[in-house]
């Protein structure tokens, strides 16, 4: 199953597969730069504070990196 779409709704990011079925959601922070930064068919990138978290199509964390 691949990621087809990721949408930020308020303080959460909703992730859907290529058939528009909901896969998972992740909470985001309330900072001015926090939220969805982008996605591919394999990962979703979400910034919280000074860190960008990457999640796979199962919602599992696959890495972090500094946003600075």
Domain range enclosing 32: 3-61
What is the model's pLDDT at position 39?
A: 98
pLDDT in tens, 12-59: 999 999 999 999 999 998 999 999 999 999 999 999 999 999 999 999
Query: Per the domain annotation, does 9 fall within a domain?
Result: yes
CATH code for position 24: 2.40.10
Question: Taking a C-beta distance cutoff of 8 angstroms, is the pair 55, 41 a contact?
Answer: no
**15, containing H or E segment:** strand 12-17
In a domain, 30, yes or no: yes
Give the global pTM. Answer: 0.92
> Does residue 67 lie in a domain region?
no
The pLDDT value given to residue 68: 87
Could you tell me if residue 68 is inside a domain?
no
Q: How many domains does the chain have?
A: 1
In a domain, 48, yes or no: yes
- Can you give 29-47 as a three-state secondary structure string? CCCCCCEEEEECCCCEEEE
């Amino acid at each position: 199953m691949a990621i087809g779409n990721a949408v930020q709704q308020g303080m959460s990011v909703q992730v859907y597969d290529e058939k528009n079925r909901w896969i998972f959601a992740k909470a985001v922070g309330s900072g001015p730069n926090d939220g969805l930064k982008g996605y591919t068919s394999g990962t979703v990138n979400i910034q919280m504070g000074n860190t960008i978290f990457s999640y796979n199509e199962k919602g599992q964390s696959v890495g972090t990196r500094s946003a600075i």
